[in-house]
Chains A and B, each alone.
Chain A
Amino acid sequence: MIRLEDIHKTYVVDKVGNHVLRGVSLAVAEGEFVALMGASGSGKSTLLNIIGALDQDYTGRAQIAGQEVKGLSDRALSRFRNRTVAYIFQQFHLLPHLSVLENVVMPSWFARSGEAGDDKALAAKATAVLDKVGLRHKVRARPGHLSGGEKQRVAIARALFNQPKLLLCDEPTGALDSDTTLKVFELIERLNAEEGLTVLVVTHERDIAERCRRIVRIVDGAVVPDPGPMTATATAGAGDA
């Protein structure tokens, strides 16, 4: 599902370069549930953005779902983000002026003409997805009236709406209390287990990471073997499938 080869990324701020990723190679198989761990600033989120085709300013090769994403046109990249990958953010990133239902159907706005279906079909599909995350009763609510856990579940519903192949979670439980964290994570686990969704979770919480089937640790922009009970299957500069 994911094949990264020798990914380098440098941020330049005030003419000073910050080499964030230093030759990352990584392979993730379809249906895997992988935790990406590392300290703040280690490059986890940067790597997630590259995998999610949000960031194109890097060197190396990134093949996601069988597609070489670097060099794609803006239109093709947008379609890739719309159909193949989905994001869940720590801050939920819901649009406050839209209802829960509208937030969930938002990806359909950018689908190709004739691909999305009519309003009625979209609403039915969104309701079904919301049902899956346990928020069917909140379709008309505004995000401002939801709890943190509910907001994140709406974000998950939005992510699932276009039935992506890859779910990228950037510290999805970072803004939630422990009870809610557990519930949200259980939902993500269930999606992986029941729907075969490939999940990549960026987290710095050890107990969350340990619930994943595999942990990839990033230290100073490079993938290093995980010292914990689970085994890292990738090393800096040499990925495997």
Chain B
Amino acid sequence: MTLSRAMRVVLGNIRRNKRSFILSSVGLIIGVATLTFFVSLGMGVQSGVLNKIYPVNQIEIEPRTVGIVGIREQLVDAARLDADMIAELKGLPDVTRVYPKLRSKLQARLWGGKSLFGFAARTEAFFDGLDPSLVQDELQRVERVDAKRERAALRRPQACKRDDECPLGQVCGAEGRCGDIEYWRRFAGHGIAVPCRDADGDAFCPPGEACSGGVCLPQCGEDGASCEPGSICVSPIDCAGDACRPHCASQCAADGDCPTSHGCVARPDGARVCERLACELPDANAQFSDRLGDQAGRLLGRCANAVSPDSPACEPLACPDGTYCAGASVGTARGYCEAPIPVLLSPVLLEIFNSSVASSLGMQRIDGTDAMLGFQFRMQLGDSYFAADLPVEMQAVKRTEIVGFSQKAMEFGVTMPLSVVRSLNARYKGRAAADTFDTFILETRGNEDVSSLIAEVEGWGFTLSRKSEDARKAADLLFILTVVFSFISVVIMFVAAVNIMHTFLTLVTERRYEIGIMRAVGAARADIRKLFLLEAGVLGVFGGVLGNAVAWGASRLVNWAAAEYLQGIPFKPDEFFLYDWRVLLGGVAFAWLFCVLGAWLPANRAARLDPAVVLTT
């Protein structure tokens, strides 16, 4: 009997037994729906939540600590957690990249937010630093950069000369047209001007930098061999003595070739290099002004008109767009133009604010992240609510700007580019505080490498960080839950299979004459078996497809309910489910398998019916 003929006979049989067909498939539909729903939920939560916090091929490790008479001691000497350790970790067979993380080692206070909250919020500041390349993809995703670019492509760009000529959320680009701000780009190595004392030499500059003219700058030898391509080794102008160490400076032709906080300066030897733009505030207290315009400052040594800077006719210039005049210390009006320090926030922080802080303080909840991007507040380094303040000459006020949200950001604090934290740690706690790291994120080629890697680094005295450990525990719990619900669904399908067996046994009894007639006109046992198993297979596929459809419908309901009733959680995923075609196909295959197994006994019983007995009784 050909398959197409058998299928036509089967479909005819199904048509005349619609009721038993539908009733038999109910259990199956529930079973498949349960299986698909929970496996897809497990996969969705894994990929949509857990993998975003910590991708399965990334683990964060930190030195293991042990308690000795009430004091916790690290098993790995802190001094060893340096660049050499990064190289050693990179040497592990499964590791493709190592990202160090560094916590701040200095006290600081934050304040600001009047425009956002209605009053200036104040808090102790905790921050850490990480490699910007670790979060670039995530920042673009959170900022929905693709959608932003698509929207921008549809509108005609507006000509401009300055940022304030552009609509809100746009800046004046180098080509003289307004364009959307892509905040994620700002989270990059940021050259803040970290003052240093020439008397201390390089002890308070980050590794690779030297104190030159009161500022830490990339160090180089006289030959300039250690400078990057495009940079040359120069000595500070108008400076003499040991403190005037040579440093690397980028070559340029005009201001536009330099970072916004730098200007293109002609040196006595004719070379043109980018140098920090020195500036001056009306007075040191301007650093604390609520009006951001008060910190525009006046550039030193530059005029808007072509006169000598010392001339009374000199028209002052302010710090360029996107920068402000940062005083060298809280008591100093002079400093350098700087862009605000870019910081990332953790979504957890926003969730806590919305769920607890906002209601306690009678503030508006913040819906989404867009409102927060570009928002600036100030940080006073060296000042603290909890610890003793550093001397006033050591304290400095810096602007910070929220440029993104990342699951890898510090949960109760802010996260800066690693280079910034290294500079600040060096400035306030010495070079050693910038040279050693606190944790490392190890990236492996594939998921399967992670377990062996954990065992390896545990032997070195490391352990998984709390966040990484929590992610693994959550993944394990999720896996167990998925297995439990899958098992339940298999039990449901087993019961359905028993029901199907009962239905098919009844069908065999009902169709015994039909089977006898078919046998009499030439049907082989295999033909009869094929008809019943095919009918069961059709039932299985029908139940599987419908079960998948029910699961999909239920998942839409859950997504809708989450969007409707969990609005206070801004970072919940839009989609809790991941519908992989293999899961859907697996659901149908399971249903098919259970149906065929359920019908196996009845089909064989039908095939074994003796036509002589059936047709003559």
Binding site for B on A (CB under 8 A): 45-46, 49, 52, 54-55, 74-75, 77-79, 81-83, 86-87, 89, 93-95, 97-98, 106-107, 109-111, 113, 158, 162, 170
Report the nearest A residue to B616, measured CB to CB: A45
A86 to B522, CA, bound (A): 9
Complex contact A93–B517 (CB within 8 A): yes
A86 to B610, CA, bound (A): 17
Q: Which of B12, B524, B615 contacts A75 (CB 8 A)?
A: B524
> Known: A54-B615, A89-B615, A97-B16. Contact between A110 and B521, CB under 8 A?
yes
Interface centre among B5, B516, B522, B523 (most CB of A within 10 A): B522
Report the nearest B residue to A77, measured CB to CB: B524
For A95, the chain B residues whose CB sits under 8 A away are 514, 517
A17 to B526, CA, bound (A): 31
For B526, the chain A residues whose CB sits under 8 A away are 74-75
Interface size band for B = 20 to 34
A74 to B527, CA, bound (A): 11
B120 in the interface (beta carbon within 8 A): no
- Given A55-B612, A78-B527, A82-B521, 20 more pairs with CB closer than 8 A: A52-B520, A54-B520, A74-B525, A75-B524, A78-B522, A78-B524, A78-B525, A79-B522, A81-B521, A81-B522, A86-B521, A87-B521, A95-B517, A109-B9, A109-B523, A110-B522, A110-B523, A110-B524, A111-B522, A113-B2
> Known: A95-B517, A111-B522. Contact between A49 and B16, CB under 8 A?
no
1/0 per residue B339-382: CB within 8 Å of A? 00000000000000000000000000000000000000000000
Complex contact B517–A107 (CB within 8 A): no
List residues of B (510-535) whose CB comes within 8 Å of A's CBs.
513-514, 516-527
22 A/B residue pairs, CB under 8 Å, sorted by A? A54-B520, A54-B612, A55-B610, A77-B524, A78-B525, A78-B527, A79-B522, A79-B524, A82-B521, A87-B521, A93-B615, A97-B12, A106-B517, A106-B518, A107-B521, A107-B522, A109-B5, A109-B9, A109-B523, A110-B518, A110-B527, A170-B616
1/0 per residue B46-85: CB within 8 Å of A? 0000000000000000000000000000000000000000
Taking the closest CB of chain B, its distance from the CB of A117, in whole angstroms, is 12
For B519, the chain A residues whose CB sits under 8 A away are 54, 78, 81
> Known: A49-B616, A54-B612, A109-B9. Contact between A78 and B523, CB under 8 A?
yes
Interface centre among B521, B523, B524, B616 (most CB of A within 10 A): B521
Complex contact B522–A93 (CB within 8 A): no
B611 in the interface (beta carbon within 8 A): yes
A83 to B520, CA, bound (A): 11
List residues of B (398-418) whose CB comes within 8 Å of A's CBs.
none
Report the nearest A residue to B527, measured CB to CB: A110
Complex contact B524–A158 (CB within 8 A): no
A75 to B530, CA, bound (A): 14
Taking the closest CB of chain B, its distance from the CB of A94, in whole angstroms, is 8
B1 in the interface (beta carbon within 8 A): yes
For B523, the chain A residues whose CB sits under 8 A away are 78, 109-110
A76 to B513, CA, bound (A): 22
Say what secondary structure dominates the interface of chain B.
helix
List residues of B (485-531) whose CB comes within 8 Å of A's CBs.
513-514, 516-527
For A55, the chain B residues whose CB sits under 8 A away are 610, 612
Taking the closest CB of chain A, its distance from the CB of B269, in whole angstroms, is 94
For B517, the chain A residues whose CB sits under 8 A away are 93-95, 106
For A98, the chain B residues whose CB sits under 8 A away are 12
Report the nearest A residue to B3, measured CB to CB: A113
Complex contact A93–B513 (CB within 8 A): yes
For B1, the chain A residues whose CB sits under 8 A away are 109-110
For A49, the chain B residues whose CB sits under 8 A away are 612, 616
Interface centre among A52, A77, A110, A111 (most CB of B within 10 A): A110
For B612, the chain A residues whose CB sits under 8 A away are 46, 49, 54-55
Report the nearest B residue to A78, measured CB to CB: B524
A106 to B531, CA, bound (A): 14
Complex contact A87–B616 (CB within 8 A): no
* In the A-B complex, the 7 residue pairs with the closest CB atoms: A82-B522, A78-B524, A110-B522, A54-B612, A49-B612, A55-B612, A107-B521
Complex contact B522–A87 (CB within 8 A): no
A45 to B613, CA, bound (A): 11
Taking the closest CB of chain A, its distance from the CB of B611, in whole angstroms, is 5
Taking the closest CB of chain B, its distance from the CB of A46, in whole angstroms, is 8
List residues of B (526-554) whose CB comes within 8 Å of A's CBs.
526-527
A106 to B5, CA, bound (A): 10
Report the nearest A residue to B514, measured CB to CB: A95
A235 to B513, CA, bound (A): 35
For B525, the chain A residues whose CB sits under 8 A away are 74, 78
A98 to B13, CA, bound (A): 10
Report the nearest B residue to A94, measured CB to CB: B517
For B2, the chain A residues whose CB sits under 8 A away are 113
For A52, the chain B residues whose CB sits under 8 A away are 520
Complex contact B522–A83 (CB within 8 A): yes
For B610, the chain A residues whose CB sits under 8 A away are 55
List residues of B (413-441) whose CB comes within 8 Å of A's CBs.
none
A83 to B516, CA, bound (A): 17
Taking the closest CB of chain B, its distance from the CB of A157, in whole angstroms, is 12
For A106, the chain B residues whose CB sits under 8 A away are 517-518, 521
Taking the closest CB of chain B, its distance from the CB of A116, in whole angstroms, is 8
A87 to B520, CA, bound (A): 7
For B521, the chain A residues whose CB sits under 8 A away are 81-82, 86-87, 106-107, 110, 158
For B16, the chain A residues whose CB sits under 8 A away are 97
Taking the closest CB of chain B, its distance from the CB of A208, in whole angstroms, is 19
For A162, the chain B residues whose CB sits under 8 A away are 522
For A79, the chain B residues whose CB sits under 8 A away are 522, 524
Complex contact B524–A74 (CB within 8 A): yes
Complex contact B516–A93 (CB within 8 A): yes
A94 to B525, CA, bound (A): 20
A166 to B514, CA, bound (A): 22
For A158, the chain B residues whose CB sits under 8 A away are 521
A55 to B520, CA, bound (A): 11
For A93, the chain B residues whose CB sits under 8 A away are 513, 516-517, 520, 615
Taking the closest CB of chain B, its distance from the CB of A4, in whole angstroms, is 16
